[in-house]
Structure 1
């Protein structure tokens, strides 16, 4: 599959964001830490997830390479602030052009409905 509008460069985890990704991994939010407990070590149907993974100029919370699936966790501000929402939409459009799906959850849902969040993630796995 040829990806339109993307230059021929290293797309995943390029060096300029390495230190920032490490910083984010060391300072994960409580919701990220909680969800990571379910995703790490191939616990979710044997799928490998990476945390604080760089794709292009962006760093995503969780990425499953085999499924080409991003899971983003956001605080309330992402669901009410028009400026933040516009930024999130721009990011999502970029990932969609790369053929990567994005799932977005508010932090409180990870704590209040973890089973529902995990089931929805699994529903977005390719059933090949």
Structure 2
């Protein structure tokens, strides 16, 4: 657990540009706005963004997520999170770069309208990208 916490702290300092752009729009604790944490450790994993009230994990996926062992690793991670009652939504980094406001708006709306009983499955990246566009 300590190893994961140290990694989370390091990752907060080394966020990618898409993560930074999204974090600027997700952060804050205004009334009625879902609260997100960045680089949140859970079990052996560090989640890019996490909304505890919605049990929602947001992962910003760059191009490397489609190659090598990454798809299998992402599936293992998603299964682990589902077992914890957490839904994972994957967002393409290129979509965040293209229109960070639209992506953040979609995610804030999703987290604001979600309840643990409605977030038991992860939408496919293609479906999410279609909804964000």
TM-score tier (shorter): 0.7 to 0.9
Greater relative CO (CA pairs within 8 A, separation 6+): 2
1:101–1:90 CA distance, 2 compared to 1 (3 A): same
Segments of 4+ moved more than 6 angstroms: none
1:32 aligned residue: 19
* Alignment of 1:94 onto 2:77: no
* Structure richer in helix, relative to its length: 2
Q: C-alpha root-mean-square deviation of aligned residues, in Å?
A: 2.1
* Alignment of 1:16 onto 2:34: no
- How many corresponding residue pairs? 114
1:112 aligned residue: 98
Unaligned runs of 5+ in 2: 117-133
Which protein is bigger by CA-based radius of gyration? 1
Separation (CA, whole Å) in 1 of partners of 2:20 and 2:88: 19
Unaligned runs of 5+ in 1: 1-13
User: So what's the TM-score if we normalise by structure 1?
Assistant: 0.79
